[in-house]
Amino acid sequence: MEDNYIKEAVDEAIDDVELIRQGNPPITVSVQDGVVTLAGVVMSGQMHRLALMAAATREGVVKVIDGLYEDRDLEIAVAGRLAEDPAIDALRPPILVSSYKGRVTLTGVIDSEEMAERALMVAAQTPGVLDVYSALKVIA
Domains and CATH numbers, the chain: 3-69 (3.30.1340.30), 72-138 (3.30.1340.30)
Please, are residues 82 and 71 in contact by the beta-carbon 8 Å criterion? Answer: no
The structure's pTM equals: 0.84
What is the rounded distance in angstroms from the CA atom of residue 139 to the CA atom of residue 100? 27
What is the rounded distance in angstroms from the CA atom of residue 126 to the CA atom of residue 120? 10
3-state SS of the chain? CCHHHHHHHHHHHHHHCHHHHHHCCCEEEEEECCEEEEEEEECCHHHHHHHHHHHHCCCCCCEEEEEEEEHHHHHHHHHHHHHHCCCCCCECCECEEEEECCEEEEEEEECCHHHHHHHHHHHHCCCCCCEEEEEEEECC
Please, are residues 122 and 81 in contact by the beta-carbon 8 Å criterion? Answer: yes
**The pLDDT of residue 90:** 57
**The pLDDT of residue 91:** 59
What is the rounded distance in angstroms from the CA atom of residue 31 to the CA atom of residue 63? 10
The model's pLDDT over 17-31, given as tens digits with 9 standing for 90+, comes to: 999 999 999 999 999
Residue segments in the chain with a per-residue pLDDT below the cut of 70? 89-92
